[in-house]
Amino acid sequence: MEEEKTDLELYLDQCSAQDALTTSRSPLLSPAVPYDVDMLTSSNPESAFNPQLEEVTETSGSFSAVDLSFLLDELSQEKKDQTVIRSKHEIEENCKTQKQQTRLPLPSQLDTGLALDSSSGSSSHSHLHPADGNSAQPSPEKPHSLPLASITPMTPIAPISECSGIVPQLQNIVSTVNLACKLDLKKIALHAKNAEYNPKRFAAVIMRIREPRTTALIFSSGKMVCTGAKSEEQSRLAARKYARVVQKLGFPARFLDFTIQNMVGSCDVRFPISLEGLVLTHQQFSSYEPELFPGLIYRMVKPRIVLLIFVSGKVVLTGAKKRSDICEAFENIYPILKGFKKA
Amino acid sequence: MPGRGRCPDCGSAELVEDSHYSQNQLVCSDCGCVVTEGVLTTTFSDEGNLREVTYSRSTGENEQVSRSQQRGLRRVRDLCRVLQLPPTFEDTAIAYYQQAYQHAGIRTARLQKKEVLVGCCVLITCRQRNWPLTMGTICTLLYADLDVFSGTYMQIVKLLGLDVPSLCLVDLVKTYCSSFKLFEASPSVPAKYVEDKEKMLSRTLQLVELADETWLVTGRHPLPVITAATFLAWQSLRPSDRLSCSLARFCKLANVDLPYPASSRLQELLAVLLQMAEQLAWLQVLKLDKRSVVKHIGDLLQHRHMLVRKAFRDGTAEMDSGEKELQGQGQGQGPEEEDVGSSSLELPAVKRPASPALLLPPCMLKPPKRVCPTPPVSTVTGDEDISDSEIEQYLRTPQEVRDFQKAQAARQAAQSVPNPP
């Protein structure tokens, strides 16, 4: 119990630090949270973890908002409601706890990395918040005062956004736009070379253009769906071209409410992944049925993205409305996947 | 009934409430005299307060078990009995079916889906109790399409919020192997093909474990791997007589369906065994191929952990030299692999074992089917001007429109007169 609490405190320190950084709009440490969570969930059963976290929340009144919302909804709510006010000397308290932790080396390194960063004043004031969760927690038995200077120098931690070094490539963008006029699909199919219209099969005209290479579904109500573009700008340009074609055919087409509905990205982590292991530890989010589909379907809660993870290391991310969602999701999953590198 | 008054005719106190064609009547049970009558018809004002309620909006649905649900529950019981599951499984599966039926989406689903739902509930029950039942088996029993089954299965797992563990490979091996009809001689199975069940089971388990370690199982359907492993185990137990038997013939003998991917799994497993054989001194000399390695599967399996470590490397190349675990089995060859390589022994053709192959899933070892070029960085802003000429290229000229219309009309005419006189 004692050891667990220590780990938990450290984890919470980490989370508070991560949250402080996310509030300051820095992408640092975001994967550290799920990584820690991953470690903890593999060591403690999920059910035991939640009450513990809640219990600690009770004791530490001013506990910082932790970005755990990618884990469980009810948990994240509590964390987000609490705010952070910290002073510099609490960094020392944070450092002292690192001596006792044995199980999570990486977070401690990141903690000290943060502390070092803060001492060098590289980033904003929020760097001074790493030890948040620790301050109000009862720990009288711990030895005090590990001064900042006694932190062992270690390899500088690269910013987490470079940790994976891989940026997912966008493969498909689906967008919709409202042309705001009723259309005569038969006329469009007759006068446009690049249109196909088979009302018995589907109630829309399927139109294609060569540059950017996309396909559009144009409905008689004036709504249009544009698919196949590789970037948001290309999707917008393509949608405008389709609207121009419709305009040239004599309809008073406008260009209203252009919205990106879905973005699909893919990337390769370049190492094999043990899907059986991943589904064991992340059962709540994963669905792996080799009899049905060779990949593992991972439904990330925050951001709300679905990832298809294959044994070859290829990852497909879908369900995003913004490019940042895809990048964030990949940064979240990369440390988890690294944990399952070997069978 | 006491306290209700007396019959005016016979004076008896035994009055019974009875209805005659939905008209309430109070009748004397002794003489049959009708004491009072209810009203058979309703007046207009009464009916004004009554409103027709559709069955789906009434509470009748919740109070009764509908006929289709009853049918479904019967099907669940039948399926459990056909599969010879323990009785507790039946109750759990029934509970899941009832739970599913509470959702409107399931109640209003097609009959085909409700049929498949029966299989899903049984499958979930079996998975949760580690009973090895494959989706293929259930689909065969229900005459269902795997696509329909998979859709319903994923939906119901999400709907009920269930935690379904993975298929237990070891149990599946035991059940599947036991179904092979090779353990007794029969007119179709000659004596030399008959095998002891325990020996075959244990060897198959070892081969499946080996396949799992070397990335042959992840992401693949489990059954073909087990078929290939069973075949190899059976062959290796008496190679002299059985090497001539092919995989297809083996499955026919054993009265088991041959899954299509099994032959490619077999090749992959043999390739792994060959790699391992490279690490054994006396096998290196023999220059094994895919057929002859079968004779030595017993030895290879005995030292499989060490051989896999030696034969393969992952990203972190660990070359542990000087492992003295391996002793020449009955061949009296003491020297280790490295020595064999360095000292030129009997055959001058023996060279040092090639640097260990990468332990990767087969999909990563094969060259990519098509090289995906990285797309050029596009500098599209989305707000560029769109030239008229670019749009014009997609429009038909008036002449083209006329031609197109003529062609369409001609086609319509041709279709409406299929057999010109």
Contacts of B150 in chain A (CB under 8 A): 289, 292-293
Alpha carbon dihedral A221, A224, A225, A227, in 10-degree steps, equals: 150
CA distances to A15, A172, A324, B90, B225 from A321, in Å: 26, 12, 9, 45, 40
User: Angle at Cα B206 formed by Cα B202 and Cα B212, nearest 5°?
Assistant: 145
Whether residues B382 and A236 touch (CB distance < 8 A) is answered with yes
pLDDT of residue B399: 92
A331: CB partners within 8 A, 6+ apart: A27, A30, A31, A160, A161, A163, A164
By the 8 A CB rule, do A35 and A335 touch? yes
Contacts of B381 in chain A (CB under 8 A): 233, 237
Please indicate, yes or no, whether residues B304 and B186 belong to a single structural domain of this protein: yes
Q: Which of A87-91, A268-272, A302-306, B221-225 has the lowest mean pLDDT?
A: A87-91
Please indicate, yes or no, whether residues B140 and B264 belong to a single structural domain of this protein: no
Q: Which residue of B has its CA nearest to A308?
A: B219
ipTM exceeding the 0.95 mark:
no
C-alpha gyration radius of chain A: 25
Contacts of B167 in chain A (CB under 8 A): 290-291
Please indicate, yes or no, whether residues B156 and B260 belong to a single structural domain of this protein: no
Tokens of A266: 């893919």
Per-residue tens of pLDDT for chain B, all 421 residues: 445 578 888 888 888 888 777 677 888 888 888 887 776 666 666 666 666 777 777 776 667 788 899 999 999 999 999 999 999 999 999 999 999 999 989 999 999 999 999 999 999 999 999 999 999 999 999 999 999 999 999 999 999 999 899 999 999 999 999 999 888 888 888 888 998 999 999 999 999 999 999 999 999 999 999 999 999 999 999 999 899 999 999 999 999 999 999 999 999 999 999 988 888 888 888 888 888 899 999 989 998 888 888 888 764 433 333 333 333 333 434 444 444 434 444 444 445 555 677 888 888 888 877 777 777 777 888 888 888 998 999 999 999 999 999 999 999 999 988 766 5
* Pick from A98, A115, A105: nearest CA to A9: A98
Q: Which residue has the higher pLDDT, A156 or A267?
A: A267
Residue B143 CA, chain-centre distance (Å), reads 14
Any domain includes B341: no
Count of the separate structural domains present in chain B: 3
Please indicate, yes or no, whether residues B71 and B20 belong to a single structural domain of this protein: no
Of all helices (H) and strands (E), which one includes residue B270?
Answer: helix B262-277
Average pLDDT, chain A: 72
pLDDT of residue B38: 72
Whether residues B386 and A287 touch (CB distance < 8 A) is answered with no
Q: Which residue has the higher pLDDT, A13 or A286?
A: A286
Identity (one letter) of the amino acid at B38? Answer: G
Any domain includes B59: no
Is A177 strand, coil or helix?
Answer: strand
What DSSP string describes A5-36? Answer: HHHHHHHHHHHHHHHHHHHTT--TTTTHHHHH
Q: How far is A233 from chain B (nearest CA, A)?
A: 4
Average pLDDT over residues A142-158: 51
Please indicate, yes or no, whether residues B174 and B307 belong to a single structural domain of this protein: yes
By the 8 A CB rule, do B198 and B248 touch? no
Please indicate, yes or no, whether residues B260 and B207 belong to a single structural domain of this protein: yes
Contacts of A244 in chain B (CB under 8 A): 386, 391
* Pick from A187, A225, A227, A245: nearest CA to B394: A245
Q: How far is B259 from chain A (nearest CA, A)?
A: 13
Residues A121 and A132: their CA atoms lie apart, in Å, by 18
What are the backbone dihedrals phi and psi of residue A7, each rounded to the nearest 5 degrees, phi first?
-60, -40
Tokens of A21: 């950084």
Q: How confident is the model at residue A282 (pLDDT cuts 50, 70, 90)?
A: very high
Residue A74 CA, chain-centre distance (Å), reads 18
What are the backbone dihedrals phi and psi of residue A245, each rounded to the nearest 5 degrees, phi first?
-60, -45
Q: How confident is the model at residue A67 (pLDDT cuts 50, 70, 90)?
A: low
- For an interface test with A, which of B380, B383, B405 has the most A Cβ atoms less than 10 Å from its Cβ? B380
pLDDT of residue A51: 44
Q: How far is A275 from chain B (nearest CA, A)?
A: 7
Please indicate, yes or no, whether residues B208 and B83 belong to a single structural domain of this protein: no
Of chain A, the end-to-end C-alpha distance in Å amounts to 31
For residue A59, pLDDT over 60 is answered with no
CATH number where B126 lies: 1.10.472.10
Longest dimension (CA), chain B: 126
Of chain B, the end-to-end C-alpha distance in Å amounts to 90
For residue A101, pLDDT over 80 is answered with no
Residues B12 and A11: their CA atoms lie apart, in Å, by 86
Q: Which residue has the higher pLDDT, A144 or A188?
A: A188
Please indicate, yes or no, whether residues B238 and B303 belong to a single structural domain of this protein: yes
Residues A3 and A14: their CA atoms lie apart, in Å, by 17
Q: Which residue has the higher pLDDT, B307 or A219?
A: A219
Partner residue opposite A292 with nearest CB, options B150, B383, B395: B150
For residue A38, pLDDT over 50 is answered with no
- Domain finish residue from B123, B149, B167: B167
By the 8 A CB rule, do A61 and A85 touch? no
- Domain finish residue from B248, B279, B312: B312
Any domain includes B346: no
Residues A244 and B94: their CA atoms lie apart, in Å, by 59
Q: Which residue of B has its CA nearest to A237?
A: B382
Tokens of B251: 């499955």
Partner residue opposite A248 with nearest CB, options B215, B219, B391: B391
Partner residue opposite B134 with nearest CB, options A236, A291, A313: A291
pLDDT of residue A17: 65
Please indicate, yes or no, whether residues B271 and B176 belong to a single structural domain of this protein: yes
* Pick from A137, A182, A118, A162: nearest CA to A10: A137
pTM of the model: 0.67
Whether residues A276 and B166 touch (CB distance < 8 A) is answered with yes
Any domain includes B378: no
- Domain finish residue from B312, B336, B365: B312
CA distances to A93, A114, B29, B31 from B9, in Å: 100, 103, 12, 8
Please indicate, yes or no, whether residues B248 and B265 belong to a single structural domain of this protein: yes
pLDDT of residue B317: 37
Any domain includes B324: no
Q: Which domain holds residue B21?
A: 15-44
Q: How many contacts does A have with B, using Cβ atoms within 8 A? A: 115
Strands A305-309 and A286-288, by their bridges, are unpaired
Exposure on the CB side of residue B141, measured as CA atoms within 13 A: 21
Please indicate, yes or no, whether residues B162 and B174 belong to a single structural domain of this protein: no
Any domain includes B3: no
Give, as one character, the DSSP assignment of residue B166: P
Residue A255: is it exposed, middle or buried by C-beta count within 10 angstroms (0-12/13-18/19+)? middle
Please indicate, yes or no, whether residues B278 and B189 belong to a single structural domain of this protein: yes
A51: CB partners within 8 A, 6+ apart: none
CA distances to A48, A237, B234, B235, B245 from B239, in Å: 54, 67, 8, 5, 10
Residue B105 CA, chain-centre distance (Å), reads 24
Any domain includes B354: no
Any domain includes B398: no
Whether residues B364 and A294 touch (CB distance < 8 A) is answered with no
Q: Can you give the three-state secondary structure of B332-383, one letter per residue?
A: CCCCCHHHHHHCCCCCCCCCCCCCCEECCCHHHHCCCCCCCCCCCCCCCCCC
